[in-house]
Structure 1
Amino acid sequence: MERHFERINGYTGPMPQRATAYSAGYDIAAAETVVIQPGKIALIPTGIKVKLGRYEYFELVSRSSLPRKRHLVMPNSIGIIDSDYYPHEIMGQFLNIGDQPVVINAGDRIMQGIFRAYMVADNDDAQGYRTGGFGSTDKENESND
């Protein structure tokens, strides 16, 4: 399995890149201009999707300067893109903690993504398959208990 980024149809902006040979994270830019009002959360489209291997996920983290310079934070601290999220677009959630609207312009680097491996318990028996996109696994075989 090859891990890589792909563009969503029609997206022509920058692809994720590492800034240096020893950078852990790939800088990810906004695909569209979005205004975030004070105290509000907005979803920022990126125009990209990521292909991952089995037992891998892509961790989204805020750029370290965003809270201080732009008054933006990720409300859940990080975002987890599971390998079965492909082929959906990566989206970032941001909360404006300031008292003025914040404009995120298309092309602004807003977060970083880090490829991660994970392990599962020896007695793991997960059987579902993702059928939806952002915010919910919407998996098949889900019980309503």
Structure 2
Amino acid sequence: MNKTRGFEIVSSYENKNINLPRRQTIASAGYDIEAAKDMVIPSIWRLNFVRIFRLIRNGHHLYEPDYQLAEQILQPLLIPTGIKAYMPDDEVLVLANRSSNTFKRNLSLPNGIGVIDSDYYNNPNNEGEIFMQVINYGVRPLQIRKGDRIGQGIFVQYLKTDNDLPVSRQRTNGFGSTNEEGI
């Protein structure tokens, strides 16, 4: 069988009852992606963040430890999915939030969307496992259960400019590896 695009389970999640993403209606563009394990996503409004927020609001000078603490608290969390995606070289898998996540769960994708390039598939660092990057802006910790639909993936073909320069660099790492060390 000739494979064009689709999803597979990464080896570390084989035999762990991971569901491959699927569309929910006839006209759905997005494939619903599920969490691979139970997780608690803490609220960004934890006590230390509120302390920093008050300092900022009241015009106090912040010191390097204050900045470091705020950055640590506002760090997005990665929810593992246990899946990877394959597609042609001229396609990308766009990860988007589900509207119910923001409306009902106060869960947001801090980068707006995620982009899974075709060469992320089977990369040597993490086998191409897809992670959903999230923050909980609600006041309560959010319990994510294995199998909860946490996002959606949409396969999109992209175009290149007329003067696109050849690129010879090959992906060597995982998540975020085009900018830095990947997960």
TM-score by length of 2: 0.72
More strand by share: 1
Unaligned runs of 5+ in 1: 140-145
Using the TM superposition, give the Cα deviation of residue 124 of structure 1 relative to its aligned residue in structure 2, in angstroms.
1.4
Pairing 1:121–2:161 present = yes
Question: Which residue pairs with 1:2 in the alignment?
Answer: 4
CA contact (8 A) 1:25 1:113 kept: yes
Of 129-138 and 13-22, the range deviating more from structure 2:
129-138
Unmatched 5+ residue regions in structure 2? Answer: 45-73, 123-127
After TM superposition, what 4+ stretches of structure 1 lie above 4 angstroms from structure 2? none
TM-score with structure 1 setting the length = 0.91
CA distance in 1, matches of 2:164, 2:4: 25
Aligned residue pairs total 139
Equivalent in the alignment of 1:36: 41
Q: Deviations over 1:44-99 (max 9, x none)?
A: 00010000101100000001011121110000010000000002101000100011
Question: CA-to-partner distance for each residue in 1:11-39, whole Å, 9 max, x for gaps?
Answer: 42211000111100000000011111111
Displacement of 1:43 after TM fit? 0.2
Separation of aligned partners in 2, 1:130 and 1:137: 7
Whose helix fraction is larger, Structure 1's or Structure 2's? 2
Counterpart position of 1:98: 138
SS in 2 for 1:65: helix
Amino acid at match of 2:27: Y
- Structure 1 window deviating more from structure 2 (130-139 vs 74-83): it is 130-139
Using the alignment, how far apart are the partners of 1:54 and 1:92 within structure 2?
22
Tell me how far apart the structure 2 counterparts of residues 129 and 52 of structure 1 sit (CA, whole Å).
16
Deviation at residue 138 of structure 1 after TM alignment: 6.3
* Residues 49 and 86 in structure 1, CA contact (< 8 A), matched pair in contact too: yes
Computing the radius of gyration from Cα coordinates, the structure with the larger value is: 2
Q: Is the 8 A contact 1:130 1:138 kept in 2?
A: no
Q: Deviations for 1:89-129, whole angstroms, at most 9, x for unmatched residues?
A: 01000100011100110000010000000011122122211
Return the match for 2:97 from 62, 74, 77. Answer: 62
